[in-house]
């Protein structure tokens, strides 16, 4: 089932193309910069009456690789759109090669991927399970292959909008591809299944299929209900970006996107989900299969994630130019590798002057200045000592005068007291003389 006429776009006004680093390339770096960042395609589907729900998520984080892109080149008649790639030798000679037949030492972008799906079935099954990669997986190296026919003729969307540019994300076998690792927190598949699911084998299979021009359905068809061709082989997501000119008065530039992913699941043959998958599929959930897995033609099923801005999407599917869910949006690989200028308060860089940078002249100036300051300090010290001695003498004189003055005052007070005492004594003795003794 598909929903029609879904549109997903971003507006770009007054952007100037950046200078390109490739040889004779027509790639527009401003448009490519609009592709960078996280993209999440997801669906959540619920049954009308029964408490049954399923959901699947695929987040792709796209970022530029300025270091490896410096090795890029471009040759006439070497079409990345047709899975051909230009490579430069150690002598800087350029040659055209098939992407699926060589190791490519440059990229337009590197990609990290996060996958998740859940099955929530209520009564009577009571199944509530969620599986994910647990962490970001990558990096996957890729080229944004430009459609050359866009420049050869005018193309239009079904709505009559002029197509300006188209890029298809194509994966590469890179020198680091063999080092892709299974994350320990992953429960979507086991460690020994990683290589075929998202590891080196999956990259090789995807690169070969894109070189053949096979769609997802064409790649999965040989494993549908049969094990004659072995186990189903998972693939990395397909992504197309198309830039158009809107018909509004400002001629706004928009981006149309197509994401396609078959998220493979293979429940154990003794589990309830194994027997319920056909029922969910028959009732309209966006599930395809069965495909052969582990020798069982009925074990493999896929949650289909298709978002197309023009042709429509699978049931319940949406796309955001962002992360959703409760996992960390930025891959830790990017947080740990900070290519901007380092800021660390614990480590200080102090430049050392060169030996021939007038060191003697600066030393003489410092000695002369130190001598002047020392001389001034000596003079100031002597003057201050003289001032202190003078003040001490003045203080001693003032103290001596004060002591003498206080001593005189005490003598006068004492003498006055003695006079008053004699007068008081006489006044007390005189009344005691008898009257008859007077005269």
> What range does the domain containing 185 cover?
2-336
Same domain, 237 and 374: no
The reply to whether 350 falls in a domain is: no
Same domain, 91 and 171: yes
Same domain, 169 and 22: yes
Q: How many structural domains comprise the chain?
A: 2
Residues in the chain with pLDDT values less than 50: 1-24, 338-369, 372, 428-429, 431-439
3-class SS string, 360-390: HHHHHHHHHHHHHHHHHHHHHHHHHHHHHHH
> Could you say which of 303, 336, 369 is where a domain stops?
336
The reply to whether 344 falls in a domain is: no
Closest CA to 156 of 256, 69, 34: 256
CB distance 61 to 38 below 8 Å: yes
Mean predicted lDDT score pLDDT of the chain: 79
Same domain, 319 and 381: no
The reply to whether 348 falls in a domain is: no
Same domain, 409 and 374: yes
Same domain, 202 and 125: yes
Q: Name the maximum alpha-carbon separation found in the chain.
A: 172
Question: pLDDT digit string (tens) for 2-41?
Answer: 444 444 444 444 443 333 344 446 888 888 888 999 999 9
The reply to whether 272 falls in a domain is: yes
The reply to whether 270 falls in a domain is: yes
Closest CA to 55 of 43, 46, 65: 43
- The DSSP-derived string for 200-244 is HHHHHHHHHHHHHT--HHHHHGGGBT--TT-S----PPEEEEEEE
Same domain, 122 and 77: yes
The reply to whether 323 falls in a domain is: yes
Cα 27 from Cα 379, distance rounded (Å) = 78
Same domain, 264 and 318: yes
Same domain, 130 and 85: yes
CB distance 69 to 107 below 8 Å: yes
CB distance 255 to 34 below 8 Å: yes
Same domain, 286 and 413: no
Question: pLDDT digit string (tens) for 349-391?
Answer: 444 433 333 333 334 434 444 554 566 666 767 766 666 667 6
Query: What are the phi and psi torsion angles at 384 (to 5°)?
Result: -70, -35
The reply to whether 343 falls in a domain is: no
Same domain, 51 and 174: yes
pLDDT at site 349:
47
Question: pLDDT digit string (tens) for 248-271?
Answer: 777 788 899 999 999 999 999 999
């Amino acid at each position: 089932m598909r929903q029609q006429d879904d549109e997903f776009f971003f507006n770009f006004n007054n952007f100037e193309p950046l200078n390109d680093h490739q040889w004779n390339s027509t790639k527009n770096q401003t448009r490519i910069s609009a592709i960078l960042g996280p993209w999440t395609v997801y669906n959540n589907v619920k049954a009308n009456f029964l408490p049954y729900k399923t959901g699947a998520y695929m987040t792709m984080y796209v970022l530029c690789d300025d270091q490896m892109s410096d090795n890029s080149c471009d040759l006439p008649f070497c079409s990345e759109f047709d899975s051909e790639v230009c490579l430069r030798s150690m002598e800087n000679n350029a040659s055209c090669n098939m992407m699926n037949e060589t190791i490519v030492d440059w990229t337009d972008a590197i990609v990290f991927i996060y996958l998740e799906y859940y099955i929530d079935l209520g009564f009577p099954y009571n199944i509530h399970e969620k599986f994910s990669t647990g962490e970001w997986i990558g990096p996957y190296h890729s080229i944004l292959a430009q459609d050359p026919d866009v420049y050869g003729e005018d193309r239009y969307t079904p709505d009559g909008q002029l197509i300006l540019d188209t890029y298809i994300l194509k994966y590469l076998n890179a020198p680091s591809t063999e080092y892709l690792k299974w994350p320990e927190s992953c429960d979507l598949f086991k460690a020994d299944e990683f290589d075929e699911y998202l590891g080196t084998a999956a990259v090789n299979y995807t690169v070969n299929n894109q070189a053949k021009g096979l769609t997802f359905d064409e790649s999965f068809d040989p494993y549908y209900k049969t094990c004659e061709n072995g186990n189903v082989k998972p693939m990395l997501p397909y992504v197309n970006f198309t830039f158009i000119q809107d018909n509004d008065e400002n001629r706004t530039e928009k981006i149309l996107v197509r994401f396609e992913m078959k998220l493979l699941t293979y429940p154990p043959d003794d589990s309830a989900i194994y027997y319920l998958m056909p029922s969910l599929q028959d009732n309209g959930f966006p599930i395809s299969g069965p495909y052969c897995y582990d020798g069982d033609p009925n074990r493999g099923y896929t949650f289909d994630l298709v978002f197309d801005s023009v042709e429509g999407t699978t049931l319940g599917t949406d796309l955001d130019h962002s992360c959703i869910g409760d996992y960390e949006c930025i891959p830790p690989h990017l947080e740990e590798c900070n290519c901007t200028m380092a800021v660390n308060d614990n480590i200080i860089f102090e430049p050392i002057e060169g030996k021939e940078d007038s060191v003697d002249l600066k030393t003489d100036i410092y000695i002369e200045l130190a001598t002047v300051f020392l001389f001034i300090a000596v003079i100031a010290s002597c003057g201050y000592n003289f001032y202190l001695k003078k003040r001490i003498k003045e203080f001693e004189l003032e103290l001596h005068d004060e002591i003498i003055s206080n001593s005189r005052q005490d003598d006068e007070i004492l003498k006055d007291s003695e006079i008053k005492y004699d007068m008081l004594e006489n006044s007390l003795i005189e009344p005691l003389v008898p009257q008859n003794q007077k005269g």
